[in-house]
Amino acid sequence: MASKLIMTAGYPELTELINIVAEELGLKVTIVEGILTEAAEKVKDYVENGNYEVAISRAGTAQEVKEAVDIPVVHHDSDEFDILQGFVRAKQLGDKICFITYPEDGFLFNFDDITNTIGFDVTILTYKTPKELVDQVEKAKKMGMEVVLGGGMKAAEIAEEYGLKSMYLTASKRSIRRMLILANKVAEDRIKLKEEAE
């Protein structure tokens, strides 16, 4: 029995990268685009109809998926390098940058260290709900921000409505590879336990 993995992606380029890495690893991964509750509801529908073993997701969407499904959820987290790289890329689009992020309790980044490393300030705005995400992009506009980083497709759509530039917080092939290998191992272990129990 092949392991069945389902993963969320907050933006189309992440979907493409996941597909590339999954193909390199010889894994079949169902990808659901979206964030938070919207993505979690789609994952739930797939899981209820598809014998999935493991879900993979990031930040607040992972929390929503955990509440929606009864299978393990492997976190695909951004690391400091992803954030640092995102800040540097955003600086190429404008000087006033805000990072819209979901604050993961117990796993908060030290943004002071990151901004000290890159040598410029980035305003950090957090959200936990889709409404808060919209509110934070609106706040960024009122604060005179030029570039919105993070928040997935939804933040990019809203930023465009407000005339702001936006960028996704990208993930590296390396982090996706590590996460898919881990998730696949969890799935294989679950399948093995089920087979032994029969």
pLDDT at residue 112 in the model: 87
CATH, residue 90: 3.40.50.10660
pLDDT at residue 9 in the model: 94
pLDDT surpasses 60 at 1: no
pLDDT at residue 2 in the model: 65
Pair (60, 32) in one structural domain: yes
Pair (111, 125) in one structural domain: yes
Pair (148, 122) in one structural domain: yes
Pair (160, 101) in one structural domain: yes
pLDDT surpasses 80 at 36: yes
More confident residue, 175 or 2: 175
Residue burial 58-86, b: 16+ Cβ < 10 Å; e: rest:
bbbbbbbbbebbebebbbbebeeeebebb
> Pick from 169, 193, 151: which is nearest to 17 by CA?
169
pLDDT at residue 27 in the model: 95
Task: Give residue-wise pLDDT tens across range 131-155.
Answer: 999 999 999 999 999 999 998 888 9
Give Cα separations from 25 to 4, 5, 124, 154, 157 (angstroms). 14, 13, 35, 30, 33
CB-based burial of residue 117 (10 Å sphere; 0-12 exposed, 13-18 middle, 19+ buried)?
Answer: exposed
pLDDT at residue 80 in the model: 84
23-28 average pLDDT score: 95
85-92 average pLDDT score: 94
Pair (159, 187) in one structural domain: no
Q: What is the percent of the chain where pLDDT is above 70?
A: 97
Pair (52, 103) in one structural domain: no
CB atoms within 10 A of CB 31: 17
Pair (111, 70) in one structural domain: no
Task: Give residue-wise pLDDT tens across range 94-143.
Answer: 999 999 998 876 667 888 888 889 999 999 999 988 899 999 999 999 99
Q: Which helix (H) or strand (E) segment is 115 a member of?
A: helix 111-118
CB atoms within 10 A of CB 149: 27
Domain of residue 138, residue span: 80-167
- Report how far residue 152's alpha carbon sits from residue 187's, in angstroms, rounded to the nearest whole number: 27
Pair (37, 84) in one structural domain: no
CATH, residue 57: 3.40.50.2300
Pair (41, 103) in one structural domain: no
pLDDT surpasses 90 at 19: yes
Beta-sheet pairing, 97-101 with 123-126 = parallel
pLDDT at residue 94 in the model: 96
pLDDT at residue 39 in the model: 93
Task: Give residue-wise pLDDT tens across range 152-165.
Answer: 888 999 999 999 99
Pair (35, 100) in one structural domain: no
The count of structural domains within the chain is: 2
